[in-house]
């Protein structure tokens, strides 16, 4: 793994030319130490797609409250409805929380889903990354692939300097909130190529790639030697084949400006960056940092050639003594409102709204009844999501919950149905595509019976 570190002083020059400082990792924690050449080998065999559809998957770790975000219940008893009031949007009949005024004025570009009903209740991002319930069915050898792994396998790279499946998933204190998924039976080559890690901002530690320091980063001979050393270690353990043919391609990616430029917000129009709001690099306890500017980075990665970008944002588990639901909502909601509205505005202004799909969600919802700490506990019976882009029929709500927000009253939606929709938007036929796993069993993008949400595609 190669971590690109800058200086902790914001006014200091960057030894790497990047503004992301301590948060950037090139090489992929999620690859489990597998070298970049193996990723390239898989991309070479799968070929490059001619079109460039893409998906941005924004995961809110911890389970955001559906009742306080986009499914308020103003007529419910006080112990249910909470402190916030709904506001009208620019789509008649659709109301959302008063702390989302920007999104309210462009609701014609969004799709709230209010009736996700098959959360397995685990405190992790597994369903948001794969669509499947953890342990609810027999997993194929190697496990279920993450959403971006299917896209990587079936469509390949757009640009060889940018992996098709990338992640901005910070390693969190609660480990399961920072896992972008794996390649599963599709192979580690299609695992998310994670571009961030977890390094304290004040750290002066300089990480190296197999003994190669930042000062020698662009010395290709040393880099080649580093990959050779990794290859020998891997060969001895029997974990992979020799990678000589792809070593130079790996070096080209690591030393190319394509990926680095996409990550470097100093190369973006400052007025555009300002739309998103100011990031907070402090990790939210055992969750992710409030890197709202990563929403902009995700868009830049798509423009650079990524087909699938997954990211984790902040921490949304607010029912303990460390942070109550409503005070934290007042801190978090306005920034999320700003970041999401900026992202979707950017996509429309750049003509990407038909090609790039966006999904925002967490692992489950929150209890309708407010607890003694003025907070809401875990509630897997129903949760919500927000969709945008992808050429979908926006400006409508999918599903509803009962008067108290306890369960779906209309149009229950499964995680896999959302993934089926995203896959269709990306140009994949969920009903016909199949790949045989290592045991020779045919596997599909989603399980039988899960179709794209017909109201919006």
pLDDT at 133 over 50: yes
pLDDT at 224 over 80: no
Q: pLDDT for 354-392, tens place per residue?
A: 999 999 999 999 999 999 999 999 999 999 999 999 999
What token pair was written down for 427? 């140009």
What's the whole-number average pLDDT of the chain?
A: 83
Task: DSSP for 33-91, please give it.
Answer: T--HHHHHHHHHHH---SS--EEEEEE-TT---HHHHT---TTS-HHHH-S--EEE-SS
Q: How far apart are CA 27 and CA 3, in angstroms?
A: 8
Q: How confident is the model at residue 59 (pLDDT cuts 50, 70, 90)?
A: very high
**Which are the contacts of 76, defined by CB distance < 8 A and separation ≥ 6?**
368, 403, 404, 405
In angstroms, the CA 35 to CA 189 distance is 9
pLDDT at position 56: 99
**Mean pLDDT throughout 155-159?**
91
Per-residue pLDDT at 32 = 37
User: Could you give the count of Cα atoms lying within 13 Å of 419 in the half-sphere of its Cβ?
Assistant: 28
Closest to 249 in 3D by CA, of 165, 161, 167: 161
Q: Assign 135 a pLDDT band (cuts: 50, 70, 90).
A: confident
Assess whether pLDDT exceeds 70 at residue 397: yes
pLDDT attached to residue 76? 97
Is pLDDT at 79 greater than 50 in this prediction?
yes
- Say yes or no to pLDDT of 97 above 50: yes
Q: Of all helices (H) and strands (E), which one includes residue 115?
A: strand 110-116
Residue range 406-418, pLDDT digits in tens: 999 999 999 999 9
How confident is the model at residue 138, as a pLDDT? 84
Instruction: Identify the architecture of domain 2-444 in CATH.
Output: 3-Layer(aba) Sandwich (3.40)
Tens of pLDDT, residues 269-311? 999 999 999 999 999 999 999 999 999 999 999 999 999 999 9
Specify whether the CB–CB gap between 305 and 159 falls below 8 A. Answer: yes
Average the pLDDT over 139-151 and give the result.
96
Between 228-237, 239-248, 376-385, the lowest mean confidence (pLDDT) is in: 239-248
Asked whether the beta carbons of 396 and 124 are under 8 A apart, the reply is no
CB contact at 8 A, 21 and 217: no
pLDDT at 221: 54
pLDDT over 50 at 197, yes or no: yes
pLDDT of residue 65: 98
pLDDT for 172 equals 96
Could you tell me the two tokens for 161? Answer: 């300097």
Q: What is the mean pLDDT of residues 337-347?
A: 98
Most confident of 182-191, 236-245, 421-430: 421-430
**Range 202-231 average pLDDT:** 43
User: Considering only CA atoms, which of 171, 176, 164, 172 is closest in space to residue 130?
Assistant: 176
Q: What angle do CA 146, 170, 418 make, to 5 degrees?
A: 35
Percent of the chain predicted with pLDDT > 90: 69
The Cα–Cα gap between 365 and 119 comes to 9
Q: What does the domain layout of the chain look like in residue ranges?
A: 2-444
Average pLDDT over residues 436-445: 95
Question: Average of pLDDT values for 231-248?
Answer: 44
User: What's the pLDDT at 250?
Assistant: 58
- Cα separation, 173 vs 179, whole angstroms: 11
Residue 360: what are its φ and ψ, rounded to 5°? -130, 125
* Rounded average pLDDT over 86-90: 98
Whether residue 245 is predicted with pLDDT greater than 70 in this model: the reply is no
Predicted confidence at residue 251, as pLDDT, reads 52
Work out the average pLDDT over 193-213.
48
pLDDT band at residue 161 using 50, 70 and 90 as cut-offs: confident
Per-residue model confidence (pLDDT) at position 188: 83
Per-residue pLDDT for 29 more than 90? no
* Whether the Cβ atoms of residue 350 and residue 385 lie closer than 8 Å to each other: no
């Amino acid at each position: 793994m190669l971590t690109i570190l800058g200086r902790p002083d914001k006014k200091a020059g960057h030894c790497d030319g990047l503004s992301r400082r301590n948060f950037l990792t090139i090489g992929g924690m999620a690859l489990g130490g597998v070298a970049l050449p193996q990723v390239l080998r898989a991309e070479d065999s799968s070929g490059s797609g001619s079109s460039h559809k893409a998906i941005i998957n924004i995961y809110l770790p911890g389970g955001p409250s559906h009742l306080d975000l986009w499914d308020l219940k103003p007529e419910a008893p006080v112990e249910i409805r909470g402190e916030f009031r709904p506001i009208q949007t620019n789509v008649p009949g659709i109301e959302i929380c008063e702390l989302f005024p920007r999104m309210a004025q462009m609701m014609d570009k969004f799709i709230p889903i209010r009736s996700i009903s098959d959360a397995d209740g685990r405190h992790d991002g597994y369903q948001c990354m794969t669509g499947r319930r953890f342990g609810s069915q027999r997993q194929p050898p190697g496990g279920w692939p993450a959403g971006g792994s299917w896209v990587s396998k079936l469509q390949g790279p757009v640009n060889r300097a940018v992996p098709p499946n990338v992640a901005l998933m910070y390693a969190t204190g609660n480990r399961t909130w920072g896992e972008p998924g794996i390649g599963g039976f599709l192979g580690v080559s299609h695992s998310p190529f994670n571009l961030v890690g977890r390094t304290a901002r004040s750290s002066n530690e300089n990480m190296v790639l197999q003994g190669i320091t930042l000062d020698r980063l662009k010395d290709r001979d040393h880099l080649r030697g580093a990959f050779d050393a990794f290859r020998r270690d891997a060969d001895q353990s029997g974990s992979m084949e020799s990678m000589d043919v792809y070593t130079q391609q790996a070096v080209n990616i690591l030393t190319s400006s394509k990926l680095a430029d996409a990550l470097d917000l100093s190369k973006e129009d400052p007025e555009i960056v300002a739309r998103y709001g100011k990031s907070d690099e402090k990790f939210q306890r055992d969750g992710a940092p409030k890197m709202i500017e990563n929403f902009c980075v995700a868009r830049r990665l798509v423009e650079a050639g990524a087909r699938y970008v997954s990211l984790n944002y902040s921490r949304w588990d607010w029912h303990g003594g460390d942070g109550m639901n409503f005070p934290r909502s007042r801190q978090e909601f306005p920034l999320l409102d700003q970041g999401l509205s900026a992202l979707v505005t950017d996509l429309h202004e750049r003509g990407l709204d038909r090609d790039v799909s966006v999904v925002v969600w967490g692992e489950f919802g929150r209890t309708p009844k407010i607890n003694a700490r003025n907070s809401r506990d875990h509630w897997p019976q129903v949760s919500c999501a927000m969709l945008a882009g992808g050429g979908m029929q926006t400006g409508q709500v999918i599903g509803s919950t009962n008067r108290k927000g306890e369960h779906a009253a209309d149009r229950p939606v499964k995680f896999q149905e959302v993934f089926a929709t995203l896959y269709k938007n990306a140009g994949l036929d969920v009903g016909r595509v199949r790949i045989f796993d290592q045991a020779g069993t045919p596997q599909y993008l989603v399980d039988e019976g899960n179709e794209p949400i017909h109201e919006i595609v």
